[in-house]
Amino acid sequence: MKKNWLAFACITLMTLVLFACNKEETPEEAASRYIQAWNKQQFENMYEQLSNEAKNAIDQETFIERHQKIYDGIRLSKLEIKPNFPEEKLSNKEDEVNVEYEIKMNTIAGELHFTHVLKLVKEETEEEKRWAVAWNPSLIFPQMEEGDKVRVETLPAKRGEIIDRNGEGLAVNGKALDIGIVPERLPENETASFEQLAEILQLPIEMIESKRNASWVEDDMFVPITTISKDDRRLNKLLKIQGVTYLETDARIYPFKETTAHLTGYVQEINAEELKKLKDKGYREGDIIGKSGLEKVFEDKLSGKDGGRIYIVDDEGNEKEEIAKQEPVDGETIQLTIDAKLQTRIFNQLKNERGTAAAIHPQTGEVLALVSAPSYDPNQFVLGMTNSEWQTLNEDPGKPLLNRFSITYAPGSVIKPLTGAIALDANAIDKNTTFDVKGLKWQADKSWGDYFVTRVTDPKKPVDLETAMIFSDNIYFAQAALKTGEKQFLEGMKRFGFGESVPFEYPIKKSSITDEKTFKNEIELADSGYGQGKVEMSIVHLASAYTAFLNEGNVLKPILLKTEAEKGKQIWKERAAEPDTASFINDLLVQVVHHPDGTGNGAKLAGKQMAGKTGTAELKKTKNDNAEENGLFVAYDNKQQDVIVAMLVENVKERGGSKYVVSKVKTIFSD
């Protein structure tokens, strides 16, 4: 009995399967299947549903390629198609039916929204009956007829410019030449032209071939390869190559070249990796994008939004009808607080060095200059750089591509004003506290082994805070840090902004005190008191920290945008030091320059009350290491109080140490 029941069940199941297999597809199902494939841009599946007549008119490869080229060309995104079926079912007995559909798509010319009719025809063979799509070009756009082509014209948005506080252009729109090819003008052996082009431009031939074979390229189109300046001497040679021509084009120009390179950064053509990430934002192959600096930071604001025009031409290239048009939206112009003249003065002092500098207005927080040296000419990246030029730049031991104002360095003695303020506010010392040390080296006790804190000058008397600041006495500040204690010292440094990101439009590395949450030992705490140990500080943070001594102990927020500056002074760290403490430290910084024995005495200028602090940071890996030294100087005119300049120069050993930097900063204030 059980076997009979199983046999019956199997027969019934087979019958149902056969019935299902023989069930004729309805027009609604056929239309839905085609539209579903269309929504997913599965052009091969769409082609399978075409009628025999349609397949005779267009082969599969052409069908797929045509859709892909048109959709790539119009920058299609968010394609949405849905059928509008009537309430009553479509007849399965007719030979043909029409299904209305609604289509929405985002394109370079804006959103397109229209309805059209999908014609289905019944086709019968011995094996099957099916509803097939009677395809014609009007299904892509209703305005299209056989022989027509879709043309797309990009209406490029102007990239916003970057200007300084006085309207001087730092990154502006100028003119250059797009060197390119027109495929139909190339010789039969295209490679011959590509080889000549590659040799003159010093570009990989594969790159030229890739651009030639891009999906959007038509034979009569101009295909840009690279951009050169209008006065480039290679132009005559290039124009002798068959198929090569040029178009005058808008180009990004950096008038101050190396002076502002790390600040502005540069733009270049988008690469494959960036395109993958940004395709949803409307970017496509060949677009220009900010690669570094403010060009990258403010890409969304600067880039604007391209407009476009989509239109139909007949088989002779005559325009028949415009489908859609959207005007471009130009990018924003970004005005900085930077003063190009001051930027240039500072760069001129650093251009033959490895170093960095920041200038900040101590009463507003406005950043007036940001310099990194050595530098590079960002115009080279825009207007074409040969492989050898790139190799030279990339392998330069001076690392001209390294942005030094965005990274951190050991600050050395320029941190001593902070240590002094923290120790005073913690009541670890007072203004008259003295430490009496004989000689040039000191250690807390024998547990330090053979490690000693050293100093340059022995005053031959007990040292108070004023004397220690004037002579830049490492031993005093090491002892001050120890008396303050680990907890209060770290809390004090945190009040000055250590351990957190500087609130600044340009990304700056965090300053740090230790690798861990606490010091490894007493020696590390002592060394941190005079800017060695594990202490790391950015030049922007350093200049900002000194604003506390001119603002009742408040550290000002560094400001880079003019629109932000118009809101007025903004405090980043409130009460980093008590007001009386800040005022006292400021007085000591004046003494560092004006006292005859002050380490900053070389910065004295007639008619100015210069104040500042010198620093020399040793880059030792071991205590016996004969390491390089970085020199630092932070200075301002205490009467004028309109700019703080913080400067670091690498490898000043045997060149006068921090005094070498003092002379450079003095020149800046002298101009």
How would DSSP label each residue in 165-188? Answer: TTS-EEEEEEEEEEEEE-GGGS-S
Q: What is the pLDDT of residue 228?
A: 87
Lowest mean pLDDT among 24-28, 162-166, 318-322: 24-28
Spatial distance between the Cα atoms of 38 and 46, rounded to a whole number of angstroms: 7
Assess whether pLDDT exceeds 80 at residue 72. Answer: yes
Spatial distance between the Cα atoms of 590 and 577, rounded to a whole number of angstroms: 18
Strand, helix or coil at 17?
A: helix
Lowest mean pLDDT among 189-203, 409-423, 483-497, 577-591: 189-203
Spatial distance between the Cα atoms of 662 and 669, rounded to a whole number of angstroms: 11
| Rounded average pLDDT over 570-584 | 98
Is 431 in contact with 489 (CB distance < 8 Å)? no
Q: 10 Å Cβ neighbour count for 239?
A: 11
Per-residue pLDDT band at 625 (split at 50, 70, 90): low
> What average pLDDT does the structure give for the chain?
92
Assess whether pLDDT exceeds 80 at residue 627. Answer: no
Q: What is the pLDDT of residue 202?
A: 84
Q: Which residue has the higher pLDDT, 215 or 23?
A: 215
Spatial distance between the Cα atoms of 150 and 355, rounded to a whole number of angstroms: 55
SS3 letters across 523-542 = HHHHHHHCCCCCCEEEHHHH
Q: Clarify whether 413 is annotated catalytic.
A: yes
Q: What is the pLDDT of residue 4?
A: 42
Note the pLDDT tens digit of each residue in 88-106: 888 888 899 999 999 999 9
By C-alpha distance, which of 541, 542, 546, 522 is closest to 533? 522
Choosing from 51, 193, 303, 413, the catalytic residue is: 413
Spatial distance between the Cα atoms of 488 and 500, rounded to a whole number of angstroms: 17
Six-digit token string for 235: 């132009």
Q: What is the pLDDT of residue 626?
A: 67
Q: Which residue has the higher pLDDT, 129 or 31?
A: 31
Spatial distance between the Cα atoms of 41 and 36, rounded to a whole number of angstroms: 9
Q: What is the pLDDT of residue 387?
A: 77
- pTM score, whole prediction: 0.81
Per-residue pLDDT band at 1 (split at 50, 70, 90): very low
Q: What is the pLDDT of residue 624?
A: 58
Q: What is the pLDDT of residue 620?
A: 66
Per-residue pLDDT band at 21 (split at 50, 70, 90): very low
Assess whether pLDDT exceeds 50 at residue 162. Answer: yes
| Rounded average pLDDT over 545-552 | 98
Note the pLDDT tens digit of each residue in 489-547: 999 999 999 999 999 999 999 999 998 889 999 999 999 999 999 999 999 999 999 99
Q: What is the pLDDT of residue 94?
A: 86
Q: What is the pLDDT of residue 23?
A: 65
By C-alpha distance, which of 491, 490, 538 is closest to 511? 538
Q: How many percent of the chain have pLDDT more than 70?
A: 96
Q: What is the pLDDT of residue 8?
A: 36
Per-residue pLDDT band at 20 (split at 50, 70, 90): very low
| Rounded average pLDDT over 605-630 | 85
Assess whether pLDDT exceeds 50 at residue 414. Answer: yes
